[in-house]
Structure 1
Amino acid sequence: MRAVVIERFGEPSGMVVVEVPDPAPAADQVVIRSEAVGVGGVDAAIRRGTLGGYDFSEGLIPGSEVAGVVTAVGHDVDRSWLGRRVWAFTGTGGGYAEQAAARIDDVTALPDSLSSADAVTLGSAATVAHFALAHAHFTAGESLLVRGAAGSIGIATVELAARGGAGTVAVTTSSAERGRRLRELGATIVLDRAGHSDQHEPGAFDVIIDIVGGDDVPAFLDRLAPNGRMIAVGAVAGMPPADFGMRLMRSFQQSRSFATFSLNTVPVPTRNAVRSEIFQAAIAGHLHSVTHAALRLDQAAEAHRLMDAGSVFGRIILTP
């Protein structure tokens, strides 16, 4: 089969399409003929070499999210999965390929009326958004800021918070056009990347969901209201300064807090059940799949160039 491998760290040109053996399922796995592959910020971080723990000596197939049809099952997997359309998390890689293997625990059946493209746009991102809001103990009437709202996690967070009765849904983004589109999805206040507005200062926030990270984390901690909670679900701009926690200590009497969130900490049955609910919400029109572009598998490097340029609104998908 054809697959994209990372031959060297750094620029998108380090990814090339090669022929590799078809995957064979382990005992608890299925093999999926991919119809859509999600391209995410973590893929770009791995490609740049900014995430440790990966061995590139023989090339790594990036990508962790696919949707398609089950073509083979391991001996511990019910054979009724054969021929079914599914969404799957493939682990630390393996997604940028015509076929991918995934543990059956990381597979969710797809409704007939949901496309594979919509599944990979929402399957991981909206599930992360749901549990990040829960991790923040977000409740109706509270004010929320989504930092880095133009990506798939940010868009899902905006929609879920608006549906959940947020008093204010503020977003940071890089252009007026992106702000307009985010307002259509439920945002009520649009700020620049630094968290400011030419029209008015929105004040403090009860909850901040941060997908960006980087050097500006301390400044956003200062935007928390008393008892405010900031949840980091990504770090596309890199790690915050080593002493960023001092901002919390200096505002001790405000009882502010900072936490990280990873979907890995949610029990598998719980996150799979929520993902199924998200797919049904999309079918009902309560959540929207926002796809920036659908590119061919051999255009993976172009997909990463678009991400590096910061020009993506929503999700890029690859079609093997």
Structure 2
Amino acid sequence: MHAIRQYELGGPEVLRYEEVKDLEPGEGQVLIAVLACGVHFIDTSLRAGFTSALHKPLELPMTPGREVAGVIEAVGKGVDESWLGERVVAHLGMASGGYAEQAIAEVNSLHEIPSGLSYAIAVAAIGTGRTAAGILDQAPIHADDIVLITSAAGGLGVLLIQAVNEAGATSIALAGNADKVSIARGQGAAMAVDYRIDGWDEIVRRKLGGDLVTLVFDGVGGRAADEAFGLLAPGGRMMQYGWHSDEPTTYDDPRRTVSMMLGPQLMARPGGLRSLEEEALGKAADGSRVPLVGSQYALSDAAAAHLDLVERRTHGKVVLVPDARL
């Protein structure tokens, strides 16, 4: 089989497409013939050497990737053979192994893919959809909220727009260029603005006509987050889930709550994360919160996918598909 292998830390060029030995499932495990694997922004940071309390240094060589969708080809000892041939999606946890034509998963991590749901949508739901469900679990949206979403054309941003609409609230989408503004608007945003335009916050302020934002979902940080915070009403909520800008924020006002949504806060959730995965798949299946797979690459082009993601040339969820399947 083929897989992406990483032997050293560095830029996207360290991701190598190679032929490797076929995998075999162990006890309590299954072998998945991968038909879609998810790519995250954190993958690009880990590749370059980022570490944290949750993200330990990579043990090289390794194959990146933490979520896959496909068909079960083999089962290990103790696994019911009825799983063979099933369409499944699985989050591999903090383990690696997703960027490949085959992946090993624990049987208790599997979800059957709902009828009618594509592999790409399923893998986006199990990863980015799970994260969106976790964010919304911590920051429920009310019908009278005015919600501002940064990076609104990204995988998480699209799902948050849909969640705002589902709640009957008002969504304000910030995106990084005209095409992405159009994507956010197409997802149902009541207002969509290019945050790279000087004075975008004044444009929003005028359009709101005296109203103030009550909830901000921010995955960008830096200047855009500071300006978004300036639109937030006293008593409003600022919910952070990333710093894609790599710029610091300067806001500080005790009248407005600032919370970090991911990391230990999400991992420590009572009951674990599986219920969030089930929710995300259910929402995708019933059409109420459907991931946008906007950027799909061949597995062999994983390096290009990483580069485009970092350079913000992607939109929606980034997914890799084995070359033979394209």
Assess if the C-alpha contact under 8 Å between 2:33 and 2:103 holds in 1: yes
Q: Scaled by the length of structure 2, what TM-score is found?
A: 0.85
1:271 is aligned to 276
Once the two structures are superposed, residues 183-205 of structure 1 have per-residue CA deviations (whole angstroms, 9 ceiling, x without a partner) of: 12111122333682574424632
Q: What does residue range 43-192 of structure 1 map to in structure 2 within 5 Å?
A: 43-52=43-52, 53-56=56-59, 58-92=60-94, 93-166=96-169, 168-192=170-194
Q: Look up the equivalent residue of 1:272 and give its one-letter code.
A: E
Q: Look up the equivalent residue of 1:139 and give its one-letter code.
A: H
Q: Which runs of 5+ in 1 are unaligned?
A: none
CA positional deviation for 1:76: 4.2
Q: Distance in 2 between matches of 1:200 and 1:219?
A: 11
Q: Secondary structure at the match of 1:291?
A: coil
* Aligned length in residues: 308
Q: Distance in 1 between matches of 2:70 and 2:162?
A: 26
Q: Distance in 2 between matches of 1:184 and 1:131?
A: 24
Q: Which runs of 5+ in 2 are unaligned?
A: none
Q: Secondary structure at the match of 2:22?
A: coil
Change (3 A) 1:17 1:30: same
Q: Distance in 2 between matches of 1:183 and 1:74?
A: 47
Q: Distance in 2 between matches of 1:76 and 1:233?
A: 39
Change (3 A) 1:278 1:104: farther
Q: Secondary structure at the match of 2:21?
A: coil
Assess if the C-alpha contact under 8 Å between 2:75 and 2:84 holds in 1: yes
Q: Distance in 1 between matches of 2:7 and 2:221?
A: 28
Change (3 A) 1:206 1:12: same
Q: Distance in 1 between matches of 2:232 and 2:78?
A: 49
Q: What does residue range 158-307 of structure 1 map to in structure 2 within 5 Å?
A: 158-166=161-169, 168-193=170-195, 196-197=200-201, 199-201=203-205, 202=208, 204-214=212-222, 217-238=225-246, 240=248, 247-248=251-252, 251-252=253-254, 254-262=255-263, 263-266=266-269, 267-282=272-287, 286-307=288-309
Q: Look up the equivalent residue of 1:196 and give its one-letter code.
A: W
CA positional deviation for 1:99: 0.6
- Which range moves more in the overlay, 83-92 or 287-296? 287-296
Q: Secondary structure at the match of 1:317?
A: strand
CA positional deviation for 1:69: 0.6
CA positional deviation for 1:310: 0.8
- Which range moves more in the overlay, 13-22 or 82-91? 13-22
Q: Look up the equivalent residue of 2:261 and give its one-letter code.
A: T
CA positional deviation for 1:110: 0.5
CA positional deviation for 1:257: 3.2
Assess if the C-alpha contact under 8 Å between 1:34 and 1:99 holds in 2: yes
Q: Look up the equivalent residue of 1:30 and give its one-letter code.
A: V
Q: Secondary structure at the match of 1:105?
A: helix
Q: Secondary structure at the match of 2:200?
A: coil
Q: Distance in 2 between matches of 1:280 and 1:133?
A: 18
Q: Secondary structure at the match of 1:124?
A: helix
Change (3 A) 1:171 1:177: same
Q: Secondary structure at the match of 2:239?
A: strand
- Which range moves more in the overlay, 8-17 or 103-112? 103-112
2:6 is aligned to 6
Cα-Cα RMSD: 2.4
CA positional deviation for 1:37: 1.2
Q: Look up the equivalent residue of 2:305 and give its one-letter code.
A: A
Q: Look up the equivalent residue of 1:9 and give its one-letter code.
A: L
Assess if the C-alpha contact under 8 Å between 1:36 and 1:117 holds in 2: yes
- Which range moves more in the overlay, 296-305 or 117-126? 117-126
- Which range moves more in the overlay, 33-42 or 120-129? 120-129
1:38 is aligned to 38
Q: Look up the equivalent residue of 1:204 and give its one-letter code.
A: L
Q: Secondary structure at the match of 1:207?
A: strand
Change (3 A) 1:156 1:293: same
Once the two structures are superposed, residues 208-237 of structure 1 have per-residue CA deviations (whole angstroms, 9 ceiling, x without a partner) of: 112223465444434322222222222333
Q: Distance in 1 between matches of 2:80 and 2:235?
A: 48
Once the two structures are superposed, residues 16-64 of structure 1 have per-residue CA deviations (whole angstroms, 9 ceiling, x without a partner) of: 01233333334333221101111221111112222352234x3221111
Q: Look up the equivalent residue of 2:85 and give its one-letter code.
A: G
